[in-house]
Structure 1
Amino acid sequence: MIEVRTRAWWRATAALCLGSFLVFINLYVPQPLLPGLKDAYQVSTLGVSLLMSVSTLSLALALLVFGPLSDAIGREAIMRITLLFAGVLSLALAFAPTFESLLLLRLLQGFVLGGLPAVAIAWMGDEFDKAALLSAVGLYIGANSLGGISGRIVGGVAADLGGPTAAFLAVGVMTLIGCVVFWRLLPRGRAFTPQRFELRKAISSLVGHLRNPVLLAAYCLGGINFLVFINQYSYITFRLAAEPYQLAASGLGLIFLTYLGGTFGSMISGRLASRFSPAACMMVGVVILMLGTAITLSSSLVLIIVGLSVNAFGFFLAHSLASSWVGRYAQGARGSASALYLVFYYVGASLGGFWLEPFWRWAGWPGVSVGSWLLLSITLMIAFALWRFERRQLVS
């Protein structure tokens, strides 16, 4: 097993963080473009938000394929090949002639983007010892947030210079270059034991994970939190593109620098989990996310940015710990267990627009905040239930 902070650990962690960074650059590049695309194609806020929803939904479905498949054929080839196709599809998006073709290409891209997230944490679970896994997962999820930041900033700045075509071209070229580095850095796994793929067995593993209440609770916590968090960013772009802020695409892209709060939350999650109850830290993350949402109700742009930064810290703290919780409590078929967590995570993201749109139409951003708090109260109760489970485990 690879131990924490050894040369092998740094190399493997760097490769997986790079891969994660590239995945989320591609996934989130359209987000600062949404207000402009809405006007250009004369579609509704919900319609243009489908550019995000279809990709996250197809990514979620892909996890059901790549997770069990990785348990049978291994993890490395899946990560390498799907990352390559993701870059190629970004280049294709640059030349999509219609809104419908954009949606179709985003659907396909979401599917291939599911390859690396489906198996990366399972790869770590195979190769790293417990301490190495906790530290690596925090850095890996921190790279998620950095990729999300970079995709939106690159997309926004490039769109101001050359429109959406330039945004997709820039991200596609970055992905293909990064893919070469990823292929060279990622070491060959040594601890993986292949299992012959059987559809019945794969379904049985997934059903077994869903019947495990300790895993199911973490799945629901991650999915609902992400539903709120990521879709808040979509609706805040509509708020900030309108009066009195009138931010351009590049300005909207810079708003996503608030994700740096999430990067910090992810990076310290491993340390917190080693000193305190992980479930208690999840509760703290949810409360912080609720507090950040309250701060964004201010009319001050500075306070809105502060609130979004607080949101990001709270969300990624809870997400990092919920993700590593699954790796810790999964009983066999770790690839399937990790993939199923991400299925809930991205299905939540894809459904968020449908949940928050009525609140947006009802009361604008205050309505979105109310819709967010309703769901976050549920995840707070879930985290509390996990904390009680932890306490029972310590007593027994």
Structure 2
Amino acid sequence: MPASASLNADLSAALNGQALAEEGEGEKLYLVRGTPAYRRASLAFFMSGFSTFALLYCVQPLMPIFARDFGVSPAASSLSLSLSTGFLAVAIFCAAAVSERFGRRSLMFVSLLGASICTIACAAMPNWNLLLIIRALEGLLLGGVPAVAMAYLSEEVDPKGLGAAMGLYIAGNAFGGMAGRVVTGVLAEYFSWRLALVGMGALGIVAAIGFLVLLPPSRNFVPRKSSLRYHVDAWLGHLNHPALALLFAIGFLLMGAFVTIYNYIGFRLVDAPYSLDQTELGLIFTVYLFGIVASWAAGLLGDRFGHFAVMLTGIVLALTGVVITLTTPLPLIILGIVLLTSGFFIAHSVASALVGRMARGTKGHASSLYLLGYYLGSSVAGSVGGHFWSADGWWAVSAFTGTMLALALAAALLSRSITQRS
């Protein structure tokens, strides 16, 4: 680096109240908690998380409408979400590799903007197949956000503040998931599902612009030309780390259970004896507010009391919530969804931070593997759950998701044991 560029970087860091920290062979300029740059980055990632989940999950409360308007089954209607998350999972690998060459910030912005435009385009699709094609394309575009976001935070944020920053990013996911479901539910009730998607796409464009304006440029990222062999070796290296591999499995199981419950609870509640309309169904998704608080708290508690202890608590809480949804009274069903949502976001927030902490080098590749499992869980389990719903209703769905959460609990205990031994 030329001397003038180095001096400018040092001065900029000082003006932002950042600190120099050593890691590995050289010095790195970290975003330190409490500084203006750290706050801007945290807010930018809150907005990116908001936009990603709002755009991705805005179709979830519309699934009963899709089944009715397009004449498809509940399992087929879930493809409007499962295709997006499935293609997103695949795209994460490409995004992680591309970002190693061209950088994090610009790729995330282009992805958010493109996905927002796709959501608006979905509103104009005249038939089911075309809508699914656009949703698949949207998933491909959104793949440029999650893995790259986790890599940016792991590279740029002081490790002491990483848990809190990651928690705020996951809180943005929770807020976006809530807004996407609630806003589209209300707009679909009073106007149409097409206008609801236009509104969500416009909101996504605003969030993408805000993200670009707020996020500080990378300071620790070094662009590198790399071969396919380089990326394969990086992924295999992380998969050979047994504790990390278990975290990847936990992501699959947590997200699979969470999305399955949310996909089919709407079908249960729009039928008798509840007969909820789209607005009432959408308002139930305000329980995501508990996920926002839980994500933020989990990051702080994980940094203070230990990440594995907090993650285990979150999984147990989610499993308890699934059991409670088996009851009949609507208030108890809602309580079960609250516990599931809180527990899921606690466990996911901590697991995300653990991946960043445990990975040694090529953090983007480690993040991409975690998110591959995470979104494959959403895609695969979210669709498979429809067959359980058709076979034996809510009891079958609960048994399916409860089994996944029990496996996640066992994987977390084993990962903790391996980490403690090493």
Give 1:124 shift. 1.1
2:201 aligned residue (172, 183, 196):
172
Give 1:390 shift. 3.5
Which residue is equivalent to 2:138? 109
Which residue is equivalent to 1:330? 359
Q: Does 1:267 align with 2:296?
A: yes
Which residue is equivalent to 1:68? 97
Give, in whole Å, the separation in 2 of the partners of 1:173 and 1:357: 31
Give, in whole Å, the separation in 2 of the partners of 1:154 and 1:359: 28
Name the amino acid aligned to 1:32: P
1:15 aligned residue (39, 44, 55):
44
Higher normalized helix content (fraction of residues):
1
Q: Does 1:189 align with 2:212?
A: no
TM-score (norm 1): 0.97
Rg larger in structure: 2
Give, in whole Å, the separation in 2 of the partners of 1:390 and 1:265: 25
- Contact 1:280–1:383 (Cα < 8 Å) also in 2: no
Q: Does 1:234 align with 2:267?
A: no
Runs of 4+ in 1 over 3 A off after TM superposition: none
Q: Does 1:308 align with 2:337?
A: yes
- Contact 1:32–1:250 (Cα < 8 Å) also in 2: no
What is the RMSD computed on CA atoms of the aligned residues? 1.2
Which residue is equivalent to 2:65? 36
TM-score (norm 2): 0.91
Which residue is equivalent to 1:154? 183
- Residues 101, 358 of structure 1: CA spacing in aligned structure 2 closer, same or farther, 3 A cutoff? closer
Decide which moves more: 351-360 or 213-222: 351-360
Q: Does 1:219 align with 2:219?
A: no
Decide which moves more: 69-78 or 139-148: 69-78
- Residues 354, 109 of structure 1: CA spacing in aligned structure 2 closer, same or farther, 3 A cutoff? closer
Per-residue CA deviation, residues 240-287 of structure 1 (Å, 9 max, x unaligned), is 011111112222211111112211211111222123231222221111
Q: Does 1:131 align with 2:146?
A: no
Give 1:354 shift. 4.1
Give, in whole Å, the separation in 2 of the partners of 1:137 and 1:125: 9
- Contact 1:277–1:387 (Cα < 8 Å) also in 2: no
Give, in whole Å, the separation in 2 of the partners of 1:176 and 1:209: 35
- Contact 1:261–1:309 (Cα < 8 Å) also in 2: yes
**How many matched pairs?**
393
Which residue is equivalent to 1:340? 369
> Any gaps of 5 or more consecutive residues in structure 2?
1-29
Decide which moves more: 203-212 or 6-15: 203-212
For 1:234-383, what aligned pairs fall within 5 Å after superposition? 234-383=263-412
Give, in whole Å, the separation in 2 of the partners of 1:216 and 1:323: 13
Give, in whole Å, the separation in 1 of the partners of 2:149 and 2:162: 11
Per-residue CA deviation, residues 81-126 of structure 1 (Å, 9 max, x unaligned), is 1111111111111101100011000000011111111201111111
